[in-house]
Chains A and B, each alone.
Chain A
Amino acid sequence: MNHNEPRAQPRTVPPANEERAVLSLEDVSRVHGSGPTMVTALHRVSLAVSAGELVAVMGPSGSGKSTLLHLAGGLDVATSGAVRVEGVDLAAQSKSDLARLRRRHVGYVFQDLNLVPSLTAVENVALPRELDGVRVRAARTEAMTALEEVGLSELADRFPDELSGGQQQRVAIARALIGPRRLMLADEPTGALDTESGEAVLRLLRSRCEAGAAGVLVTHEARHAAWADRVVFLRDGAMVDDTGRAAPAEALLGAGR
């Protein structure tokens, strides 16, 4: 994992909570174009997500939510500032190193287009491990474990179109967190689902984070964002607010239950 030390750069201050953040954005901006047509998609955003933490990003369309997610996953490059995944500065990586880092450490869950239709659930989950060079049999075993963790081991041999939307998303979550990967980036993962299946997906994201993953959830639905430990708000590319780490639930209702 430390095969690529960041280039000689001034050491940055570690996150205040001392445990190393799985994902950290430091003063990150993303600007498209220049001169009069310049558009700032993200403006000086800082965010650290630790293992065990689920952070929701909310904001109106065009506020920079997706840009933030793309930068975090190394799918886009920051104009300034540093994006680190597992302590590795993404900007300091060669193209091939970046591709490997993305595959090894980052899992994505999108609204749709998540699974390869011609592969079964277990094959879909095993795919990133096989691309990592893990033997087919070993990858399959890992994939079965991952499917078990999302409660779908019985449906392992079904094809995506034989699964409900909610089940497909759970397979995608299993795939996002297979192997050593523990950063999960989710973009409106409940988009097309009814409230019940949507909630099951959120419960699962939450429990995978409680089991040690770090998650970033982009959503415009407050009810979904509420499953996160922390909610940050973007507006016009800038972070305008942050709910902070939640207070104990008992505080809300006064008399303890």
Chain B
Amino acid sequence: MSIKHGLLALLERGPMYGYQLRTEFESSTGSTWPLNVGQVYTTLTRLERDGLVRPVGEPDADGRQVYALTDEGRVEVTTWFTTPVTVKQRPRDELAIKLAMAVTTPGVDVAQVVQTQRSATLRTLQELTRLKSHADEITDAAWLLVLESMIFVAEAEVRWLDHCETKVARLVERRAQLSGTTSSPATAEGDITTDTHGGARR
């Protein structure tokens, strides 16, 4: 979805070769989503079929074809820019599914699943922050916007993980309370653990 509209938006600046489109796409997004030329040409073929772009003139000596936006294509770009991205359009969130499964699968240490993910996301956040700290406010403006978008998404994920951790801890407590009233061995075991801890640190 984003490649199609990304290419259309680039053609709004003027007619371009497929190869140029690829270069421009990557430089605007800081190579965040690397494209191969094949993807660009497949997309252009589809856009031409849908009447959103048209070839301009004949291919040059190297077989390179220039493409331009059609009027319909221009409308499509405007619509894209003025329409919000809905949650439905985004791919399924594997992490949310994984955690939902973890909570309901017996024997899974949910806190550990959360922590493993949090460390990984923080590492990503560190790397993004390092890239950001080296970027130039003016010459890298487009790239910085993309980077910051990724930074805020990663941060939101960490906050959500914090939230999950709190919720899961409360859930475990509740479950323990419920089972604790019926089974005393669990309580006794807990006492032993506490004692050992205290002794070890004396």
**A residues whose Cβ falls under 8 Å from a Cβ of B:** 29, 31, 38, 40, 43, 58, 60, 79-80, 203, 206, 221-223, 225-229, 231, 233, 235, 240-243, 246-247, 249, 251-257
Q: How far is the CA of A228 from the CA of B152 in the complex (A)?
A: 17
Give B146 Cβ to nearest chain A Cβ, in Å: 10
If A243-B126, A252-B124 touch, whether A60 touches B201 (CB-CB below 8 Å) is no
Q: How far is the CA of A235 from the CA of B159 in the complex (A)?
A: 16
CB–CB A241/B119 < 8 A: yes
B164-192 contact mask (Cβ, 8 Å, vs A): 1 or 0: 01100000000000000000000000000
Residue among B34, B116, B154 making CB contact with A222, cutoff 8 Å: B154
Q: Of B115, B121, B126, which is in contact with the most chain A CB atoms at under 10 Å from its CB?
A: B126
B140 and chain A: residue at smallest CB distance: A257
* Interface membership of B198, Cβ < 8 A: yes
Starting from the known contacts A233-B119, A249-B127, 4 additional A-B residue pairs (CB-CB under 8 Å) come to: A222-B159, A225-B122, A233-B118, A249-B128
Q: How far is the CA of A225 from the CA of B126 in the complex (A)?
A: 8
| Chain B residues within 8 Å of A254, by CB | 31, 34
If A252-B131, A253-B32, A254-B34 touch, whether A246 touches B201 (CB-CB below 8 Å) is no
Q: How far is the CA of A204 from the CA of B155 in the complex (A)?
A: 21
CB–CB A241/B34 < 8 A: no
The contact size tier of chain B is 35 or more
Q: How far is the CA of A242 from the CA of B123 in the complex (A)?
A: 10
B10-43 contact mask (Cβ, 8 Å, vs A): 1 or 0: 0000000000000000100011101000000000
Give A129 Cβ to nearest chain B Cβ, in Å: 30
CB–CB B31/A253 < 8 A: yes
CB–CB A255/B115 < 8 A: no
If A29-B201, A60-B165 touch, whether A246 touches B118 (CB-CB below 8 Å) is no
| Chain B residues within 8 Å of A257, by CB | 30-31, 131, 143
If A223-B151, A240-B115, A243-B123 touch, whether A38 touches B130 (CB-CB below 8 Å) is no
CB–CB A246/B119 < 8 A: no
Give B102 Cβ to nearest chain A Cβ, in Å: 17
**B residues whose Cβ falls under 8 Å from a Cβ of A:** 26, 30-32, 34, 111, 115-116, 118-119, 121-131, 133-134, 143, 151-152, 154-155, 158-159, 162, 165-166, 197-198, 201
4 cross-chain pairs, A with B, having the tightest CB-CB distances, nearest first = A222-B158, A226-B125, A226-B129, A252-B127
CB–CB A226/B162 < 8 A: no
| Chain A residues within 8 Å of B122, by CB | 58, 222, 225-226, 231, 243
| Chain A residues within 8 Å of B155, by CB | 221-223
Q: How far is the CA of A249 from the CA of B150 in the complex (A)?
A: 14
Q: How far is the CA of A229 from the CA of B119 in the complex (A)?
A: 13
CB–CB B197/A40 < 8 A: yes
Residue among A31, A233, A252 making CB contact with B115, cutoff 8 Å: A233
CB–CB A255/B34 < 8 A: yes
If A241-B115, A253-B31 touch, whether A60 touches B151 (CB-CB below 8 Å) is no
CB–CB A60/B162 < 8 A: yes
CB–CB A226/B126 < 8 A: yes
B30 and chain A: residue at smallest CB distance: A257
CB–CB A38/B125 < 8 A: no
